[in-house]
Amino acid sequence: MLKGSITALVTPFGKDGVDEKAFQSFVAWQIDEGSHAVAPCGTTGEAPTLSHEEHRRVIALCVEVAKGRVPVLAGTGSNSTEEAISLTRHAKEAGADAALLVAPYYNKPTQEGLFRHFEAVAKAVDIPIVVYNIPGRSVIDISIETMARLAKIPNVIGVKDATADLVRPLKTRVALGADFVQLSGEDATVTAFLAQGGVGCISVTANVAPRLCAQLHESWAKGDLKTCFAIRDRLMPLHDAMFCETNPVPAKYAVSLLGRCRPGVRLPLVELAEGSKRKVEAAMAGLGLI
- What residues are labeled active site? 132, 160
- 127 vs 125: CA distance, rounded Å: 6
Pairing status of strand 4-8 against strand 13-14: unpaired
